[in-house]
């Protein structure tokens, strides 16, 4: 069932439209009822995505889509949990959560609409903005080294790391489906042109550079090298896939209750010194 088209908050020509189309299709093509799918998001133009795809959602605060997703998954491992937000939200404000969520080894999907700019606040540097790019808060050019989300995710031990491009919708849809169906923490960083504020990384710019990886790399160090590729040649597809990584076992707690007998055993818990 498709969501009826609603008034979105995006600019005409925004890459988010393409993502909305493929995400909606991908979610509804999954062998999972939509009532069992939860999207979490943060704040920003991308973070409005859950409103437009017809599943459960918790659109939370800036940077916090991942801890919400972790809490949901730990409480309800039966739910399919996808965190969705932009590069500023996921890698900037939520950078610490991005690092540590991967380490938790949960079956979660992280989708990042990466337009390499802060769009909703009108064009400031994001963690993935290239050096020397000029914008309102960096009139002399961005002074920072950009964060490489793929390399960071691989380093943290993410078992599924991919990159998609909004100009290749069918390819992107398959990547998203693979990521969600993968048992483990999966990242898809999505190259998304911002027609209003990013005049460099345009559709044309990407089209001239992206190339498809034939097969996912299974060697972590080879994958890291590929993740480092940027500029003339930009790989898209599954950069790294580790089938042998194990998800953490989650205790079933939902609808299971402690009994009075359990409580009899708990009341004499010994004192513990605090530090």
Partner 1 sequence: MEMNIVIAGEAGQGAFSVELELTETLSRLNTHFFATKHYMSRVRGGHNYHMIRIADHPVHALRGGKWDMIVALDGETERLHKPNLREGGIYLSQEMAKEIGDAAKEAFGNIAASNAILVGIVLAVIGVSPEKVAEAAEPGKEEYLKKGVEFAAQWKLTGAFPVSATAGEHRKFDGNQALALGAILGGCQFMAGYPMTPATSIMDYFSKAAAGLPIHFEQAEDEIAAINMVLGASYAGVRSMAATSGGGFALMQEAVSLAGMTETPVVIAVSQRPGPATGLPTRTEQADLHFVLNAGHGEFSRIIFAPGATGEMIALTRKSFELADRYQIPVFILTDQYFADSVQICEEEIPLDVGSREYREFDRTYKRYQLTDDGISPLTFPGLSEALVKLDSDEHDEEGKITEDQGLRIRMADKRRNKITLLRKEAVSPTFYGDLDASSFLFCWGSTKHIVKEAAERLSSEGIPAAVLHFGQVYPLTPEMVAPYRLEEKRLIGVENNAGGQFARLLKSELGLAVDHSVLKYDGDCFTVEELYQALKGLLS
Q: How far is the CB of 249 from partner 1 (least distance, A)?
A: 11
| CA distance linking residue 163 with residue 169, whole number of Å | 12
Is 79 a binding residue for partner 1 by CB under 8 A? The answer is: yes
- Measured from the CB atom, is 77 or 213 closer to partner 1? 77
Is 2 a binding residue for partner 1 by CB under 8 A? The answer is: no
DSSP code string of 70-136: HHHHHH-TTSEEEEEEEHIIIIIITHHHHHHHHHT--SEEEEEEE-SSBTTTTSB--TTPPTT--BT
Stretch that binds partner 1, among 17-25, 35-43, 110-118, 163-171 (CB under 8 A): 35-43
Contact between 67 and 97 (Cβ < 8 Å): yes
User: Which of 40, 125, 135, 166: binder of partner 1 (CB under 8 A)?
Assistant: 40
Beta bridge partners of 161: 187, 240
Stretch that binds partner 1, among 55-63, 135-143, 177-185, 237-245 (CB under 8 A): 55-63
User: Please, which of residues 188-217 interact with partner 1 by CB under 8 A?
Assistant: none
User: Which of 49, 70, 119, 191: binder of partner 1 (CB under 8 A)?
Assistant: 70
Tell me how far CA of residue 47 lies from CA of 9, 29, 83, 222, in angstroms.
Answer: 11, 22, 9, 32
- Measured from the CB atom, is 108 or 227 closer to partner 1? 108
Stretch that binds partner 1, among 12-20, 130-138, 190-198, 246-254 (CB under 8 A): 246-254
- Measured from the CB atom, is 158 or 210 closer to partner 1? 158
- CA nearest to 48, candidates 17, 78, 26, 80: 17
Is 99 a binding residue for partner 1 by CB under 8 A? The answer is: yes
Q: How far is the CB of 235 from partner 1 (least distance, A)?
A: 30
Structure tokens at 16: 């988010």
Is 233 a binding residue for partner 1 by CB under 8 A? The answer is: no
- CA nearest to 105, candidates 38, 57, 153: 153
- CA nearest to 116, candidates 39, 44, 220: 44
Contact between 102 and 185 (Cβ < 8 Å): yes
Strand-pair category, 234-241 with 186-191: unpaired
Q: How far is the CB of 71 from partner 1 (least distance, A)?
A: 3
Is 22 a binding residue for partner 1 by CB under 8 A? The answer is: no
Stretch that binds partner 1, among 132-140, 158-166, 189-197, 256-264 (CB under 8 A): 256-264
Structure tokens at 173: 């849809």
Chain residues binding partner 1 by CB under 8 A are 6, 9, 34-36, 38, 40, 43, 48, 50-51, 54-61, 64, 66-76, 78-79, 96-97, 99-100, 250-260, 262-275
């Amino acid at each position: 069932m498709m969501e009826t088209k609603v008034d979105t908050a995006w600019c005409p020509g925004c890459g988010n439209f393409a993502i909305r189309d493929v995400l909606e299709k991908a979610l509804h093509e999954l062998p999972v009822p939509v009532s069992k799918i939860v999207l979490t998001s943060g704040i920003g133009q991308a973070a409005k995505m859950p409103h437009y795809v017809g599943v459960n959602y918790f659109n939370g605060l800036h940077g916090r889509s991942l801890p919400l997703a972790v809490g949901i998954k730990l409480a309800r491992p039966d739910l399919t949990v996808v965190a969705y937000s932009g590069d500023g939200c996921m890698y900037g404000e939520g950078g610490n959560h991005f690092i540590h969520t991967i380490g938790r080894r949960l079956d979660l999907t992280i989708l990042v609409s990466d337009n390499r700019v802060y769009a909703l606040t009108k064009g400031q540097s994001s963690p993935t903005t290239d050096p020397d790019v000029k914008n309102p808060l960096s009139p002399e050019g961005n002074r920072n080294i950009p964060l490489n989300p793929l390399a960071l995710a691989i380093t943290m031990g993410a078992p599924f790391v991919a990159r998609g491009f909004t100009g290749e919708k069918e390819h992107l849809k398959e990547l998203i489906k693979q990521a969600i169906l993968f048992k483990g923490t999966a990242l898809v960083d999505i190259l998304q042109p911002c027609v209003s504020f990013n005049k460099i990384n345009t559709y044309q710019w990407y089209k001239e550079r992206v190339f498809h990886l034939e097969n996912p790399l299974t060697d972590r160090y080879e994958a890291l090298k590929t993740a480092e590729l940027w500029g003339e040649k930009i790989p898209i597809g599954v950069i790294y896939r580790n089938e042998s990584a194990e998800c953490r076992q989650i205790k079933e707690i939902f609808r299971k209750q402690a009994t009075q007998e359990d409580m009899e055993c708990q009341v004499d818990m010994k004192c513990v010194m605090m530090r």
